[in-house]
């Protein structure tokens, strides 16, 4: 098989969550353990940082990877889903996995695929572990797919576990209360391994404290240890000053990820860096500041308040659940613009009504869908929105919708593309 044939095989032969949803979710680690055993358990041959959370885990993963590689460590980064290129999921020092490795790995593991019948995600996890082991990385930042306890990535014993936050998402799989969702995310906590929780919430704090205590894992709530003392947002850039509790010094950071919600992720990253330093990792302050300023350049992160056009401003953001959309709306309030245009598409298994109820009525809407089976038809989304006085037109794909928004918008307007990672990934830049 060549590369295109290999991708076709992976995308069509294996159950894929982005296409079919919950049917592709395997509720235990049996397949991943068997796959990794088949290829010699590569996950034991390099150090890891393991990251879970409802929102922010992608940005947090990329920030940490940027810091580690800037500090001189050969750094792997495994994230999902990809926006445009399958190889985005697997990076070493920012560079994507080679096509030849994808081909060779798939050929090598085909007998195990036929025997085990794994999901697409389980295969990508095994591929990532094998890639990082073969390339002798010093450390790899590993992002969970969803959940934590039963996530395929949860066969690593990391240097540090990180849980960014807990919000409403994937309730059909993770539970219908924040406590139940927190329990699933807390499944990445390992005996004796420090864990950083980014955001403290009354409903979930006790869950983390109990599980950390049971596993004798040191627990640190990042937002109880540091805070943003001052910040400035202008020209789609974010300047932040951070202070540790009990200290007067304000340390400045200039973020190339300009969404205000990145301040929460920055606090999580800074406490995580502190914990890694306590374990002997050499992460100098100047490397941290340098990396935070060039995360997109160093790691290839896209889709987080990403400005792709000016006059009018066009912003891509992968926010797609209640908390993610709330963060986008907060960012919109910080932005100088005349009129708001929202290009939105969603997948069927999200809390669509709850997301729509948050959206402003004074915007123009362009309802669309991603080209995947899980996508909610654009006419159905438009009907749901119209029932609560959100009005606009429906378009069969995001680029047609965006073209219509650009045609209607004035130069001082703001156009947001959001609602689904897959919608954002299909925008032609």
Q: 3-299 in CATH: which number?
A: 3.40.1190.10
Q: Are 419 and 347 in contact (CB under 8 A)?
A: no
Closest by CA to 164, choosing from 78, 63, 87, 26, is 63
- pLDDT, residue 124, reads 96
Q: How many CA atoms lie within 13 A of 252 on its CB side?
A: 4
β-partners of residue 232 are 239
For residue 44, the tally of other CB atoms under 10 A from its CB is: 12
In the chain, where are the structural domains located?
A: 3-299, 306-425
Specify the DSSP element, H or E, that contains 342: strand 340-344
Give the pairing of strands 139-143 and 95-96. Answer: unpaired
What's the pTM value of the predicted model, to 2 decimals? 0.91
Number of neighbouring beta carbons within 10 Å of residue 93: 18
Rounded distance between C-alpha atoms, residue 195 and residue 244, angstroms: 18
Kindly indicate whether the domain formed by 306-425 is annotated with CATH number 3.30.365.10: no
Q: Which ranges in 230-343 belong to alpha helices (H)? A: 262-278, 285-292, 295-299, 322-334
CA distances from 353 to 19, 157, 322, 347, 388 (A): 21, 39, 10, 12, 9
- The tens place of each residue's pLDDT in the chain, 429 residues long, gives 999 999 999 988 886 544 444 444 556 799 999 999 999 999 999 999 999 998 889 999 999 999 999 999 999 999 998 999 999 999 999 999 999 999 999 999 999 999 998 989 999 999 999 999 999 999 999 999 877 888 999 999 999 999 998 875 544 556 568 888 899 899 999 999 999 999 998 888 999 999 999 999 999 999 999 999 999 987 767 899 999 998 989 999 999 998 888 999 999 999 999 999 999 999 999 999 999 999 999 999 999 899 999 999 999 999 878 888 988 999 999 888 999 999 999 998 778 999 999 999 999 999 999 998 889 999 999 999 999 999 999 999 999 999 999 999 999 999 999 999 899 999 997
Which two three-digit tokens encode residue 127? 């591929």
Helix (H) or strand (E) holding 364: strand 364-367
Gap between the Cα atoms of 120 and 80, Å rounded: 11
CB atoms under 10 Å from CB of 242, counted, come to 19
Encoded tokens for 152? 């395929």
**What pLDDT score was predicted for residue 169?**
55
pLDDT at 17: 44
CA 361 – CA 307 distance, rounded (Å): 23
H-helix or E-strand containing 10?
Answer: helix 3-13
Could you tell me if residue 362 is left (phi over 0), alpha (psi between -120 and 50 degrees) or otherwise beta? alpha
**22 in Cβ contact with 172 (< 8 Å):** yes
pLDDT of residue 21: 47
In degrees to the nearest 10, what's the CA dihedral of 1, 128, 298, 295? 130
Torsion of CA 372, 163, 76, 2, to 10 degrees: -20
Residue burial 7-26, b: 16+ Cβ < 10 Å; e: rest: beebeeebbbbbbebeebbb
């Amino acid at each position: 098989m060549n590369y295109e044939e290999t991708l076709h095989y992976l995308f069509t032969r294996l159950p894929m969550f982005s296409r079919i949803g919950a049917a592709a979710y395997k509720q235990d680690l049996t397949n991943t353990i068997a796959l990794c055993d088949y290829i010699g358990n590569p996950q034991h041959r390099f150090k890891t940082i393991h990251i879970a959370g409802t929102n922010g885990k992608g940005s947090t993963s990329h920030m940490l990877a940027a810091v580690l590689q800037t500090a001189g460590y050969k750094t792997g980064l495994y994230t999902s889903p990809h926006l445009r290129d399958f190889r985005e999921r697997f990076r070493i020092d920012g560079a994507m996995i080679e096509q030849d490795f994808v081909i060779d790995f798939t050929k090598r593991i085909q007998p195990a695929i036929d025997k085990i019948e794994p999901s697409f995600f389980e295969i990508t996890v095994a591929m990532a572990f094998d890639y990082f082991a073969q390339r002798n990385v010093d450390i790899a930042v590993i992002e969970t797919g969803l959940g934590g306890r039963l996530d395929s990535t949860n066969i690593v014993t990391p240097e540090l576990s990180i849980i960014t936050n807990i919000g409403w998402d994937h309730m059909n799989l993770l539970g219908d209360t924040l406590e139940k969702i927190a329990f699933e995310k807390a499944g990445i906590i390992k005996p004796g391994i420090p864990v950083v929780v980014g955001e403290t919430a009354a409903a979930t704090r006790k869950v983390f404290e109990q599980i950390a205590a049971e596993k004798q894992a040191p627990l640190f709530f990042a937002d109880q240890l540091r805070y943003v003392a001052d910040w400035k947002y202008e020209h789609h850039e974010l300047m932040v000053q951070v202070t540790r509790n009990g200290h007067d010094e304000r340390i400045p950071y200039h973020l190339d990820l300009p969404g205000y919600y990145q301040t929460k992720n920055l606090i999580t990253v800074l406490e995580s860096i502190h914990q890694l330093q306590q374990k002997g990792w050499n992460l100098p302050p100047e490397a941290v500041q340098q990396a935070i300023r060039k995360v997109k350049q160093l790691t290839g992160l896209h889709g987080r308040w990403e400005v792709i056009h000016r006059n009018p401003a066009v912003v891509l953001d992968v926010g797609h659940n209640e908390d993610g959309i709330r963060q986008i709306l907060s960012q919109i309030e910080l932005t100088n613009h005349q009129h708001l245009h929202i290009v939105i598409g969603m997948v069927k298994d999200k809390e669509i009504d709850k997301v729509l109820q948050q959206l402003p009525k004074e915007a123009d809407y362009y309802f669309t869908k991603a080209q995947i089976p899980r996508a909610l038809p654009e006419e159905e989304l438009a009907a749901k929105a119209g029932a609560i006085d959100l009005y606009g037109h429906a378009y069969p794909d995001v680029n047609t919708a965006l073209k219509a928004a650009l045609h209607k918008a004035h130069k001082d307007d703001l156009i947001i593309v959001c609602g689904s990672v897959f919608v954002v990934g299909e925008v032609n830049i």
